Amino acid sequence: MALTANAVDLDNDRRHMRAALREAEAALVVDEVPVGAVAVAGDRIIARGHNLREQKQNPVAHAEMEVITRAAHTLGTWRLNDVTLYVTLEPCAMCAGAMVQARIGRCVFGTPDPKAGAAGSVIPVESILQNCRLNHRVEVSSGILEQPCRQILQQFFGKLRMV
């Protein structure tokens, strides 16, 4: 039996989110909040990254910002219309704004961020990512591998609370 286009898309989303989760695990190794991201063009990962705020002592070194910068460098353009950005945690307002500025075609995130999410949790998705008054709108999909994306964050913050 052949897979439908939706089933194939979901399989691809899961595969790329697993790559983002591996980046989140890499963040753990360097004592960063475990958020990982990958940028995909076509079906190829063109950039990978994770949070580096502590390592760089840079408040904007979120996983998404790192990956957007690397993807632009890889493609040789800041216009990333055909790029899908996979991230384990719902983007914040800064990262959502950067996605609009970079013309990211699609954002896929794993788990919602009830404290800073700008794709529906705290800030409505229509405020930034899909604001019809801005010059670009980003397609958004959520809940891909939500449980493992949430668990890695819960484990990290649970350990912090024990210290």
Q: Does residue 8 register a pLDDT over 50?
A: yes
Mean predicted confidence (pLDDT) in 107-125: 97
Token pair recorded at residue 119 = 């794709």
The pLDDT of residue 163 is: 65
Residue 2 pLDDT > 60 = no
Exactly one of 64, 90, 139, 146 is catalytic; name it: 64
- The answer, yes or no, to whether residue 102 has pLDDT greater than 50, is yes
DSSP 13: H
Give the CA dihedral 75, 20, 99, 129, nearest 10 degrees.
140
The torsion angle over the Cα atoms of residues 113, 89, 32 and 52, rounded to 10 degrees, is -110
pLDDT score recorded for residue 161: 83
25 a catalytic residue: no
Q: What would the mean pLDDT of 76-83 be, rounded to a whole number?
A: 98
Q: Which of 65, 39, 64, 62 is nearest to 52 (CA)?
A: 62
Q: Which residues contact 18 (CB under 8 A, 6 or more apart)?
A: 145
- pLDDT tens for residues 14-58? 999 999 999 999 999 999 999 999 999 999 999 999 999 999 999
